[in-house]
Each structure stands twice: as structure tokens, then as C-alpha cells.
Structure 1
Amino acid sequence: MSEEAEGVRLQKVLANAGVASRRVSEQLIVEGRVRVNGQVVTELGSRIDPENDLVDVDGTAVQLDAGKRYVMLNKPTGVISSMKDDRGRTDLRAFTTDWEERLFNVGRLDYDTSGLLVLTNDGELAQVLAHPSFGVTKVYIAKVEGTVTPQTIATLTRGIELEDGPIAADKARLLDTSGGSSLVELTLHSGRNRIVRRMMAAVGHPVVELVRRQFGPLHLGTLPVGRARELTKVERGALLTLSRRGSDAEASADPSGEAPPSREKPENS
């Protein structure tokens, strides 16, 4: 029987995935730092199916499918968060020409909002991370009208009432006030439609400019506006780990494995 028919040795899979050399991978296995489908594996002769089994090392997911692409885009304003717009507006296809794979966006950003958007051909990951019930943490910087006070910051974290229910920022921080405007950093896990703009308007400070700086474990860093790049190995591992936790949570909540229904619209900050 061929190796493919009976599975591939775990240390070879780890080496092929770029985790470490074959010898170091063997050491990781022996030390009990490798799990397959959530179970620690310490036997060096263990074989797995790379197409179906899930592997993590020290709790961080390992990407085994080399055909999956994970891309970070710093979306400019004036771009629709779609791969095709029937109204002729600039869409995300303009930023995916470097990749042969058909990529699509995880969640969305408003037409007038810039910042971090994930593009991928991993449908399962996209479905989990974009679902409102999962609540990926996002960090935004908003330039708003007027001088924001510490009392307003406290109100944002304490919670306010909107037309579709109460909402509170996980964190809120005043970064600057000058020239009749303020910079506010908001951390949220809500996926509700245009939530940052609606929150700031509700406390009397309409948004002038809005940038998403962080999505889950991913940080925009110094990526220029309008540029896209593939995630690093560390970033891919962090994103896959987050996605798998979401999948596990869904499976625990619903034995059918289906995402729970939600009345929330897709995220459109």
C-alpha cells in the first residue's frame, strides 16, 4: 500500500507545512506539542490525512492545504466590498490580480471606510469569521466632529441604546483632539451594520473618516492604502486558530454544525 493510501507521516506533514525540519518536527511530536483533530499525538509512526485532518502545534493551527490563500488588503475609501458591483463602482477585483485563485472577502467595510479586509479562497474560514454570532474583535480609528470628552468615552464603554438594541464598545480611547475634531479608537466585536458610525453619531460626534486597523489577530501595520499582501505563516496560524475555535463553538452549540440564525446584517462598518 502506498504512503498516500495509508496516510502521511505526521513529521513529514509538519516539515512540508514549513513548521520545522523533519527532525525538529519529530521532537515536537515526542514532547507532546502536536495535536491532530484536538488529540495529542506522541507516536512518531503516526500517519494522518492532510486533506481532512486538523493539526496544531502549541495550540496554533497549521495550514496543510497549500492551495488556500489568505490575503490582507488595506482597502481604500471609494471601493465597494464585493468582487463584482452591478453599479459599476470600483470593487475588490482591482486588488487581486497578483493571485490566480478566485479570492473573496471576509465580511465587509463600508464604501467610505478604509482599512483591513481579509481576502481568501477558504470558504469555511470566511463563513465562520464573517458570521455576526462569532464576533471577531475589530479595532477602528475614527476621526469625528467636535471635541470628545472623557465622559463621552465612558458612555461608549458603558453602553448606548440604538434603534436595533443596546451596544457597548469593548474598549474606547481618545487619541487626539485638535482643530474642532477628535480621533477615537474603538474596539468592538459586534458585526452590526455601520455600527461605529451609528455609535459616534448617537453620542453627538458624527464620523468624518473611519479606518479599521485590526481584525482579530491581524494588524494593518504599515501596509499602504490600496496594497495587498499574503499573510505571514504566523498570521495564517493565528487566523486559522481563531476560525477553528469558532467552528468548535458552533459545533458545540448546534450538533448539526450549522451556524445559528442571526437577524444582524452582514458587517458593514
Structure 2
Amino acid sequence: MRSSGRNSSRTTRGAGNSRDEKQQRAGRPRPEERGYGKTAGGKSGAGGKGGKGAPPARKKRASPARSREYEAQIEERNRERHDKPALRLPKTFGDQEGERLQKVLARAGLGSRRACEELIDQARVEVNGKIVTSQGRRVDPEKDEIKVDGLTVAAQSYLFFALNKPAGVVSSMEDPEGRQCLGDYVQNRETRLFHVGRLDTETEGLILLTNHGELAHRLTHPKYGVTKTYLAAIQGPVPRDLGKRLKEGVELEDGYARADHFRVVQNTGKNYLVEVSLHEGRKHIVRRLLAEAGFPVDKLVRVRFGPIALGDQKSGWLRRMTNTEVGQLMREVGL
């Protein structure tokens, strides 16, 4: 009897305990509802424990307000820390300021470095108003004013012009014999310009003028193969296979010469106007090529240099090239 009573009391006590546990569980928030602030019922949810036994939340002490003078001192200290001047470390051997003068002149298109050294030896170069006499001079092209024969050598300000050269004009910026030359068309400009390639004295047409040395060098270097197009007046009759012969190559005294393109533009009786395109730049190359094929040239005009066309530009006129044309030239030679 005692055992049965004892078992019944245990059962009753266990049932009561299970009811209490269910009630406690019903009052607890679900895991996804637990937070660190107070719940909607006003009970604290910190640590997932609520009820009367939860410790009260500590109140944060308000930091004392800092004065404006103190804030200004902190700001000034931060500025001094971040605005310190760069340290000037001692230069190691060989680490010198600027570039050698002859290198800057060569890059500007005034010739090879050796030729630029000769300009210095001839006392034709001045830096910041003083003539340079030593080869070891170093300069900063962006700060120093460099002149050759009194004309400024532009390092960053590039100019690009297209000239329709008349017949009888020498393809040089100066002529010691006093003949008419390209410099006569640009003599009023302060910056030194130089021509890109050459045209025979009696050849007319498009010639480019610039102070961009690297561009001028690439436009005339055989490696880049920039095509030049000419119109030539010859006497016929012209055989049909002339273009094929010119493209295959004609042997000249200084080697074979080949045309990239040939076509007859106009024919009036025995007078023929033909178009010849080639990328070589040897002296009198078009005249010699056609003469060796049996057709001496009466008149020769260059109508295109790479992507730049002569168009309807009048003889003797100088014009500034557009930004689009300059971009096309740069693309042509990979700049």
C-alpha cells in the first residue's frame, strides 16, 4: 500500500512539474524572437532569459562633453600628422635629376643624339637663356626653356600642319643657297617645326609639318610601312600589264622597288594620269620606278600621306590638321 501511495505521489508531483514546465516554456520567447532589448511585453530578452530573476540592464555612463578648444587641438594634431612633407632621401649614385640635353633634343626630332651633341658643340643650344657648352647638362623638359638657334623646342605642346608644297620649293626648313623652302611658310611661328619626309623640288603636293619627334620618326621609318599615294602624268600608250610589272618589282641601281597599288585615273589621247601608291621612301623613288618601266614622269603630285588626304587644298596653303586626323596618324604608327 505504501508503495502504491508513494508511486501515486510521484506521479502527481511529476504531472505538476510537467505543467509548470509547459507554462514556463509558454512564457519564453522563441529563438528567432529573442533579442538584446526588451520584448513587446516589457521583459528583457538578454541571454534568452526573462522573468523576475533577470538582472537589470546596466546603464552606460555618458562621456563628458569635450570643449571646442580641445576638439580644435585634436583636429590640428591630425592635420599635422597627415600633412607632413615627403622625406627627401639622399640620392644614390647615378640617380640624377632631369634628362640629358641631347636626349631631349633627339626626342623632339632635331636629329640623332650624335647630331644633337654637335649642335651643343656649335653653341646653338640654350637653356633658360644661357648657351650650353658642355655635354653633361641635364634638363627638365617641362620646366626648362630649351631653344635651338633661337627657336623654342616644344616638349609637350605639339603642332600638326599639312602643306600643299608648290613646285620649285625645297623640302627643308632652311636653305643655305637662299632658295624658297618650307620654312618660308612657317617663319612667323615661335615653335620649331620640321617636315615629315621629303618631296623632290619639282614634286608638288602634301607634306606634313610637326614638332612631334616620335610621330615624325615613325611616319618615315620603313618598319611602319606608311603608304604614300601619288598622281603622275606620263605619256602613253600604257600597256595593261604595267600595274602588274610595278607590283612585282622593278630593279633599280639601289635595289628592287615595288608599287603597292597602280591604276589609270584619266586618259586623253597619249596623255595618261596614273595613281601609284607605295610605302618606300627612297629618293626620287616614284620617278625612277616609272622611268625604269619606260614611262618618264612629266608631273608628280603627292595626294595622300597615310590617312591624310590633300583634297582640294590650294597650292601653297598651310592648314592645321584636325584632332581626328592627328588621331588617325597616331593609330597608323601605334602611338
Same fold (TM over 0.5): yes
Q: 1:78 aligns with which of 168, 171, 178?
A: 168
Tell me the residue number matched to 1:20: none
Aligned to 1:117: 207
- Are the equivalent residues in 2 in contact too, given 1:148–1:177 (CA < 8 A)? no
| Equivalent of 1:145 in 212, 235, 245 | 235
Partner of 2:251: 161
Aligned to 2:190: 100
User: Cα deviations across residues 219-241 of structure 1 (Å, max 9, x unaligned)?
Assistant: 11111110010101100111122
Q: Distance in 1 between matches of 2:269 and 2:172?
A: 35
Report what 2:65 is aligned to.
none
8 A contact 1:104–1:119 mirrored in 2? yes
Which position in structure 1 is the counterpart of 2:25? none
Q: Does 1:203 align with 2:285?
A: no
Answer whether contact 1:76 1:114 (CA < 8 A) is retained: yes
CA distance in 2, matches of 1:220, 1:229: 11
Structure 1 residue 230 and structure 2 residue 308: aligned? no
Rg (Cα) greater in structure = 2
| Equivalences, count | 185
Q: State the SS of the aligned residue for 2:331.
A: helix
Match of 1:242 in 2: 332
The code of the aligned residue for 2:304 comes to Q
Structure-2-length-normalised TM-score: 0.52
1:2-21 to structure 2, matched below 5 A, reads none
> Which region of structure 1 is more displaced relative to structure 2, 69-78 or 174-183?
174-183
Q: Is the 8 A contact 2:224 2:333 kept in 1?
A: no
Deviations 1:205-256 (A, max 9, x none): 10000000110111111111100101011001111222335xxxxxxxxxxx
Which amino acid counterpart does residue 182 of structure 1 have in structure 2? Y
Q: Could you say which residue in structure 2 is the equivalent of 1:67? A: 157
- Contact 1:147 1:177 survives alignment (8 Å): no
Task: Give SS of 2:202's match.
Answer: coil
Offset, 1:146: 2.5
Q: TM-score, normalization: structure 1?
A: 0.64
Which runs of no fewer than 5 residues in structure 1 stay unpaired? 3-50, 52-64, 246-269
Q: Secondary structure at the match of 1:127?
A: helix
Query: Structure 2, unaligned stretches of length 5 or more?
Result: 1-81, 84-141, 143-154
Pick from 89, 102, 113: which aligns with 2:179?
A: 89
The CA deviation at 1:72 is 0.4
Measure how far apart 1:98 and its partner are.
5.8
The answer to whether the aligner puts 1:193 opposite 2:256 as a matched pair is: no
Measured against aligned partners, the alpha-carbon deviations of 1:184-208 in whole angstroms (never above 9, x if no partner) come to: 1001001111110001101111000
Distance 1:122 1:67 in 2: 9
Over 3 Å counting, the alpha-carbon distance change for 1:209 and 1:140 in structure 2 is same
* Cα distance in 1, alignment partners of residues 277 and 255 from structure 2: 18
Cα distance in 2 for partners of 1:121, 1:219 equals: 20
Q: Which has the higher strand share?
A: 1
- After superposition, the Cα gap between the structure-2 partners of 1:215 and 1:69, relative to the gap in structure 1 and judged at 3 Å, is same
Q: Distance in 2 between matches of 1:236 and 1:69?
A: 10
Partner of 1:261: none
Question: RCO greater where, 1 or 2, for CA within 8 Å and sep 6 or more?
Answer: 1
Aligned to 1:131: 221
Match of 2:333, SS state, is helix
Aligned mates of 1:84, 1:238 — CA distance in 2: 29
Question: What's the Cα RMSD here?
Answer: 2.2
Secondary structure of 2:319 counterpart:
strand
